Structure 1
Amino acid sequence: MNQPLTPQPIKTMTDKRQAILDTALALFVSQGFHGTSTASIAKQAGVATGTLFHHFPSKEALMESLFLTIKQQFADTLLLNTHKGSDLKLNALQLWQSAIDWSLDNPVKQLFFQQYSMSPMIAAKVRDQAMNSILGFISELIKQGQMEGLIAHYPLELMLENCHGQYLAATRFFIDNPHLGTNTRYRDASFELFWKAMQAD
């Protein structure tokens, strides 16, 4: 006697959206933004091209949504793994090490950041949203450090860009040298380089 077929679960709209984002991430990193078509994203994600455009009206909109989604995941991880105390340098160290851990745990997402964080393909308003809204707690730490005389009194926007540049440089190094990712000497040195660039004279 034939057994009844088990119905296969139907992909929800949320599942399809996530499949599009996951596929776009892999293709943008491996093929570049201009080398990746929306048709290829839809095909590899297993959705119709019309479904892709239902969620994202353009490839640029998809890129921006992917960027902000990953930034939010990054920020959530930092906040979850950081315990705020009275010692600002210790707080900064915890944030830094958590950020490095995230990059090592998520190498494809970090490569995406490396490729697109400063790219003109990401609109300035989107980068601003990521830096000042999603990662707003970093701005607050910098302002606190300036008030306490621990961090140099340079314009906040420049300080944030400096933080970002230092982070990208460090994670580039560790992605290129994964065997050093758990090396305490290199990890501590990466933070000290960052801190010296930020601290007051």
Structure 2
Amino acid sequence: MSSKITTATDKKQAILDSALQLFVSNGFNATSTASIAKAAGVATGTLFHHFPTKSDIMSQLFLSIKQEFANNMVSNTQLSGDIEKDANNLWQKAIDWAIAQPLKQLFFLQYSMSADIDIAVRKQAMTSILGFVVELIEQGKQQGIIANFPNELLLENCHGQYLAAIRFFTDNPQLGSNPQHRSASFKLFWHAMKAQ
């Protein structure tokens, strides 16, 4: 059985997987399309067939990881209607995902707020892929539980709080399963979101 990459889907995924590794280890600007193609085991022309520019690779990588992240958060999650409880469940699942996906977590930490990700791509990730978070915020605002600030600002705050938490657990991996620290990470997040 050959280990050669055979289908277009396999080649595209190999390019994304290689780009993820190289962007995290070398940075976006220091990673060439030729190095991505080489690491993926595809011709440079094949890479450009799938992704006309390096920025297109970055955008697709960002959106696909965000989608995986979102899918993980909502899988087997029953929202109860208790906004704080639902937010805590989603928060803990998000932290679990980050701990289980160290390379993708590092990618988020490096690029989530980077100018290397087009603003339209970041907006698509926040409002479309993570639309269930927007819905939860809206419900919380309507019930007077979440502060009545503009959704875009609340989403950026959520995102910043999450990145701070996963940075903490990255730097202190022994605390990733510590219930007190996990609970405290949510309480800090919730304190910033709730209505006063």
Do Structure 1 and Structure 2 share a fold, with TM-score over 0.5? yes
Report how far residue 86 of structure 1 moved. 2.1
Q: Check the 8 A contact 1:42/1:49 in 2, yes or no.
A: yes
Superposed counterparts of 1:21-170, under 5 Å: 21-170=16-165
Q: Check the 8 A contact 1:21/1:62 in 2, yes or no.
A: yes
Q: SS in structure 2 opposite 1:113?
A: helix
Q: Check the 8 A contact 2:12/2:50 in 1, yes or no.
A: yes
Report how far residue 14 of structure 1 moved. 0.5
Over 4 Å off, 4+ runs: 6-10
Structure 2: state its 5+ residue gaps: none
Alpha-carbon distance between aligned partners in 1 of 2:76 and 2:119, rounded to the nearest angstrom: 29
- Residues 155-187 of structure 1 show CA distances to partners (whole Å, capped at 9, x for unaligned) of 111000000000000000001111100000000
Structure 1: state its 5+ residue gaps: 1-5
Question: TM-score, normalized by length of structure 2?
Answer: 0.97
Question: TM-score, normalized by length of structure 1?
Answer: 0.95
1:191 is aligned to 2:186: yes
Alpha-carbon distance between aligned partners in 1 of 2:75 and 2:124, rounded to the nearest angstrom: 20
Identical counterparts, % of pairs: 63
Structure 1 residues 143 and 49: alpha-carbon distance in aligned structure 2, compared to 1, 3 A threshold: same
Match of 1:3 in 2: none
Alpha-carbon distance between aligned partners in 2 of 1:198 and 1:8, rounded to the nearest angstrom: 49
Structure 1 residues 179 and 81: alpha-carbon distance in aligned structure 2, compared to 1, 3 A threshold: farther
Q: Check the 8 A contact 2:5/2:11 in 1, yes or no.
A: no
Alpha-carbon distance between aligned partners in 1 of 2:40 and 2:119, rounded to the nearest angstrom: 28
Report how far residue 10 of structure 1 moved. 5.4
Report how far residue 82 of structure 1 moved. 2.1
